[in-house]
């Protein structure tokens, strides 16, 4: 089984599937699963390809969720090994997506295959939900597939998301929840002018400083037993023409929140709008919601996963919800 997982992982890594491109990864997986009797359903939305594969037709439905897309490799000359070559050196697999998440995707596919081979008449349904839109917009992937399934009355009872979560040793951290992520793109309007005549201009940077101070020091919540407090970070600020004698006419501020279950995206939007209005700013703002917070409380799925890690990896994982978000 181990060699099969590594071979599949290498095949996937060698396909440069930079989001939202799939580069044939899902077709490769579908062909393998179809040979074992999995039903294959393609769900393309805009530029995103999604695969819904399942074996069985009864409840409960246990699904593996993952993505074939990867982030750009950047300057390939800076890589020790070519990013899409999938080279194994000193028992380490190198390549873009080896960790996030073609390695675990290969493991999930082979696990599903081995289970069906050993139990062809198993109870319930084994399914795989695979998308090529997780690393970028994450709008036409998992969310759209789940919405489609729900609209026709198909529910997923249990789901394992193969995102990398280990800290030091394989299996030492189990993410049983993730914070939500949303980004604000804020434009604050001013009046452009010459720095020698400030009375004829309106500097949006100066005007925005009190608001930005409040925004970055605001206590959104105190977190709870499962999640750390909500965090806001400014990611980008742009203003001016590059000249040292021109007062900018507009300020652009991009900020991101990683928020817990104590607040909602609507609460955040309303609070920011109230702040902007209080400070009398002329503005326009757009929001990108990458994912809402979710939590799987200790129960059947968590307990079964912990038991498996104890038996197979000889490790007891720590339950956490911090770190990055996921479309799961």
CB 295 within 8 A of CB 176: yes
194 upstream amide cis, omega within 30 of 0: no
Q: How confident is the model at residue 328 (pLDDT cuts 50, 70, 90)?
A: low
pLDDT at 139: 83
> 3-state secondary structure string, 51-91?
EEEEECCCCCEEEEEEECCECCCCCHHHCCCCCCCCEEECC
| Cα 56 from Cα 124, distance rounded (Å) | 6
Mind listing the pLDDT tens digit for each residue in 276-319?
999 999 999 999 998 899 999 889 999 999 999 999 999 999 99
**Residue 294 neighbours by CB under 8 Å, 6+ apart:** 177, 178, 328
Q: What is the set of domains in the chain, with CATH numbers?
A: 1-164 (3.40.630.10), 180-291 (3.30.70.360)
SS3 188: strand
Backbone angles phi, psi at 244, to 5 degrees: -90, 5
CB 129 within 8 A of CB 142: yes
**Mean pLDDT across the stretch 20-48?**
97
Average per-residue pLDDT for the chain: 95
- List the catalytic residue out of 21, 22, 69, 133: 69
pLDDT at 213: 99
- List the catalytic residue out of 100, 134, 140, 327: 134
pLDDT at 137: 77
pLDDT at 290: 83
pLDDT at 160: 95
Q: How confident is the model at residue 1 (pLDDT cuts 50, 70, 90)?
A: low
pLDDT at 327: 62
Residue of 133, 77, 129, 70 whose CA lies nearest to 99: 70
Cβ atoms within 10 Å of 61's Cβ, excluding its own: 19
Mind listing the pLDDT tens digit for each residue in 196-209?
999 999 999 999 99
More confident residue, 138 or 211: 211
Least-confidence region, from 34-38, 269-273, 275-279, 320-324:
320-324
Q: How confident is the model at residue 171 (pLDDT cuts 50, 70, 90)?
A: very high
Using a pLDDT cut of 90, give the percent of the chain over it: 91
| Cα 220 from Cα 268, distance rounded (Å) | 8
CB 230 within 8 A of CB 259: yes
**Mean pLDDT across the stretch 153-167?**
93
pLDDT at 239: 98
Does this model's pTM top 0.85? My answer is no
Mind listing the pLDDT tens digit for each residue in 233-267?
999 999 999 999 999 999 999 999 999 999 999 99
Mind listing the pLDDT tens digit for each residue in 103-142?
999 999 999 999 999 999 999 999 999 999 988 877 899 9
Q: Is 69 a catalytic residue?
A: yes
Mind listing the pLDDT tens digit for each residue in 53-107?
999 999 999 999 999 999 999 999 999 999 999 999 999 999 999 999 999 999 9
| Cα 117 from Cα 120, distance rounded (Å) | 6
pLDDT at 302: 96
């Amino acid at each position: 089984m181990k060699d099969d997982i590594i071979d599949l992982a290498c095949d996937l890594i060698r396909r440069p599937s930079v989001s939202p491109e799939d580069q044939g990864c899902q077709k490769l997986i579908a062909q393998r699963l179809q040979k074992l009797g999995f039903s294959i359903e393609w769900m393309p939305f805009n530029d995103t390809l999604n695969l819904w594969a399942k074996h069985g037709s009864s409840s409960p439905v246990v699904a593996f969720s993952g993505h074939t897309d990867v982030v750009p490799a950047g300057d390939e000359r800076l890589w020790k090994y070519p990013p899409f070559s999938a080279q194994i050196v000193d028992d380490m697999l190198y390549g873009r997506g080896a960790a996030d998440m073609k390695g675990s995707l290969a493991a999930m596919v082979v696990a599903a295959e081995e289970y069906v081979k050993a139990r062809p008449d198993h109870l319930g349904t084994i399914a795989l939900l695979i998308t090529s839109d997780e690393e970028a917009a994450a709008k036409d992937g998992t969310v759209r597939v789940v919405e489609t399934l729900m609209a026709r009355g198909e529910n997923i009872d249990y789901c394992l998301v193969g995102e990398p979560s280990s800290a030091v040793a394989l299996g030492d951290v189990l993410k049983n929840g993730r914070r939500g992520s949303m980004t604000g793109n804020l434009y604050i309007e001013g009046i452009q002018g010459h720095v020698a005549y400030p009375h004829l201009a309106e500097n949006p940077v100066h005007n925005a400083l009190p608001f930005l101070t409040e925004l970055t020091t605001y206590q959104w919540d105190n977190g709870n037993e499962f999640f750390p407090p909500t965090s806001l970070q400014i990611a980008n600020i742009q203003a001016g023409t590059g000249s040292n004698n021109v007062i900018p006419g507009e300020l652009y501020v991009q900020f991101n929140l990683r928020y817990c279950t104590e607040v909602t995206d609507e609460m955040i939007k309303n609070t920011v709008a109230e702040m902007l209005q209080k400070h009398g700013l002329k503005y326009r703002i757009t929001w990108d919601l990458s994912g809402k917070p979710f939590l799987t409380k200790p129960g059947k799925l968590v307990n079964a996963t912990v038991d498996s890690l104890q038996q197979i990896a000889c490790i007891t994982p720590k339950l956490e919800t911090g770190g990055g978000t996921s479309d799961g």
